[in-house]
Amino acid sequence: MENNEKVLISTRNLVKIFDVVKVLDNIDIDILDGEKVVIIGPSGSGKSTFLRCLNLLEIPTSGLVEFKGEPLFKCYSNFVKEEIKQAKKQARKLSKSSSEKSEYQKQIAEMKKQYKEQLAEEKVFRKKMELNLNTHRQKMGMVFQQFNLFPHRTVLQNITLAPIKLKLATEEEANNKARELLKRVGLLDKQDSYPGQLSGGQKQRIAIVRALAMNPSVMLFDEPTSALDPEMVGEVLDLIKDVAEGGMTMVIVTHEMGFAKEVGTRILFMDEGKIAAQGTPDEIFNNPTHPRLVEFLSKVL
Amino acid sequence: MKLDLTIIFNEKTMLLLVKAYGWTLAITVMALVIGIIIGTILAIFMVLPKTNIVNKVLNSFANIYLAVVRGTPLLVQLMIISFVIFADVIFFNRTVSPYLIATIGFGINSGAYVAEIMRGGILSVDKGQMEAGRSLGLGYGQTMKSIILPQSAKNILPSLGNEAIALIKETSVALVIGVSEFFTTIKSIVNTSYNVVTPYLFAAIIYLVTVMAMTALLKKFEKRLRKSDGK
Ligand SMILES: Nc1ncnc2c1ncn2[C@@H]1O[C@H](COP(=O)(O)OP(=O)(O)OP(=O)(O)O)[C@@H](O)[C@H]1O
Ligand SMILES: [Mg+2]
């Protein structure tokens, strides 16, 4: 079965530590082409951090992030470093003469060697990745809670800026494509407006169009309707549904449970930096088993 | 002592003053241009994410530059540039003109102050803007250039105006390296005419008119930049 399903994004042992807090705790996931993955979970559970690690807006502490089979991020040296620290702590507890201690020291030396090799390898990798990363990001559209439109540019320029600057299209091609997309979302008459003149719902729809104009392979949404007035949530969710029906692969962080149920093909429940439960909308919403999930759902539903 | 307009409004003096005023404006504008270029580069050095050694070195360089330039008197800086650095420099068989040295000196000095203005401007732009640019696949430099800097421009314009106004009055310091600009010319008129009131009053009026003209120009420019706010 796995042969005809293409993995688009995958992570292995993904860890993110802020200061001393492990915000992401060894996350392994494969996101398949065409999937609509919806991430739910309590505030502070690491949903945004996870999403932002996928396109490396946030640099993970260690682990692997792959996009279309190519590693975007690969770092195990921090992991080995942590292990060395642990081993040293253990060794200190033992008496000097014990054979166990010399065994430990041999092990630590071995790990240190491994650490150095890792570090050298990762340095080469990072140099190479620095350039590729921008190319990969073009294919990972991102939509933010706060829209983040460019206030000094018109709506049309917001959409065409990146394709033109990155020489993916001529100005004329970019303009035509942008107008076509604007027409689709019913905002063609706003093409020469500035973001400051738009409503929240309009802004978010433009932000989605801006991401779509790059022809991405996947779209990442971080609470796209959380900053909107209630009466504008619908128009944005409708557009996202529309894009989903077009076959786009999506990863969506949201608090809109009805929307999650409707659009998601797989629901991830995150809790304390881990994927505590995952499954189809039916499994997650109608037959939850994980106690923290049950508790979470009872609060939000 | 009484007002005596003839000591200013005669052909010989006027010619001298117009030329001197021209130098003041020229030095100010050129120094400001140099200051903005240096300041922008330093500001970017200062806001670079300190994730690798190169960025850290650039960051330290900017900090040292600011400490040295802002921590020592402008007069001393001009003297050092003129009498130490450019003392033995021969360019096309001639020593370097004090006017050019003054321009470079004021530019270097202004760069440090503009850097702080620019840094404040860059930091005033929401960090979501950088993230939006990067998420579209634009590089750091590209995002800085076409998204962050244009937005910071309108925030820093008032402070930049202040810097220009301060600079136009400060140029008189360049007398120490032999530059005769507007104010030094006024002083020499005072010395030869023994009349204090007229030349200084005239100078004050000229400065006032110049600064007012600059302010008006700035306002117009700011208004054009603010157009996009939809306010
Ligand atoms: N830049 C940062 N520096 C330090 N801590 C951070 C940073 N960003 C996030 N955190 C912490 O990491 C944890 C997870 O944050 P994250 O934003 O990923 O949560 P979330 O699940 O998206 O929450 P919400 O539903 O409120 O958006 C939080 O405890 C947060 O305080
Ligand atoms: Mg969040």
Helix axis angle for B197-226 and B149-170, nearest 10°, is: 180
Q: Is residue B195 a part of any domain in this protein?
A: no
Q: What is the pLDDT of residue A286?
A: 94
Does residue B191 lie within any of the structural domains? Answer: no
B74 occurs within a structural domain? yes
What pLDDT does residue B78 have?
93
Q: Tell me whether A91 touches chain B (CB under 8 Å).
A: no
| Ligand number, closest to the Cα atom of A23 | 1
In the numeric block, which tokens belong to residue A200?
A: 């929240």
Q: What number of CA atoms fall less than 13 Å from residue A137's CA on the CB side?
A: 29
**Span A231-282, pLDDT tens digits:** 999 999 999 999 999 999 999 999 999 999 999 999 999 999 999 999 999 9
Q: Whose CA is nearest to atom 25 of ligand 1?
A: A43
Q: Do B139 and A138 touch (CB under 8 A)?
A: no
- Strand segments (E) across chain B: 90-91, 94-95
Q: Is B185 within a domain?
A: no
Q: Which two tokens stand for residue A158?
A: 């917001």
Q: How many residues does chain B have?
A: 231
Assigned domain for B214 exists: no
pLDDT band at B229 (very low <50, low <70, confident <90, very high): low
Q: Does A170 touch chain B (CB under 8 A)?
A: no
Amino acid at A229: D
Return the half-sphere exposure (C-beta side, CA atoms, 13 A cut-off) of residue A151: 22
Q: What is the CATH number of the domain that holds B116?
A: 1.10.3720.10
Residue B231 has pLDDT above 60, yes or no: no
Task: Report pLDDT digits (tens) over B36-82.
Answer: 999 999 999 999 988 888 999 999 999 999 999 999 999 999 999 98
% of chain B at pLDDT higher than 70: 98
Question: What is the length of chain A?
Answer: 301
Q: What are phi and psi of A74, to 5 degrees?
A: -150, 110
Q: Provide the domain limits for residue B162.
A: 11-180
Q: For ligand 1, atom 3, which residue shows the shortest CA distance? A: A18
Residue A131 alpha carbon to ligand 2 centre in Å: 28
> Number of structural domains, chain B?
1
pLDDT at A1: 42
Report pTM: 0.87
Chain B CB contacts of A166 below 8 Å = 137-138
Output the pLDDT for position B103.
94
* Chain B contact for A164 (CB, 8 A cutoff): no
By Cβ distance, the residue of A138, A151, A193 closest to B136 is A138
Two structure tokens written together for A127: 């140099």
Record: contact B136-A55, CB cut-off 8 A: no
Q: Touching check for A194 and chain B: CB below 8 Å?
A: yes
Low-confidence ranges of chain A (pLDDT < 50): 1-3
pLDDT of the residue at A117:
87
Supply the pLDDT for residue A4: 56
How close is the Cα of A60 to the center of ligand 1, in Å?
A: 13
CB A115 within 8 A of CB A139: no
Q: Between vectors from CA B144 to CA B139 and to CA B149, what angle results, nearest 5°?
A: 165
In a domain, B187, yes or no: no
Ligand 1-lining residues (CB < 6 angstroms): A 18, 23, 41, 43-49
Quote the CA–CA distance of B140 and B153 in Å, as a whole number: 18
Facing residue for A57 by CB, picked from B131, B139, B230: B131
Find the closest chain A residue to B227 by CA distance: A152
Atom of ligand 1 minimally distant from the CA of A223: 27
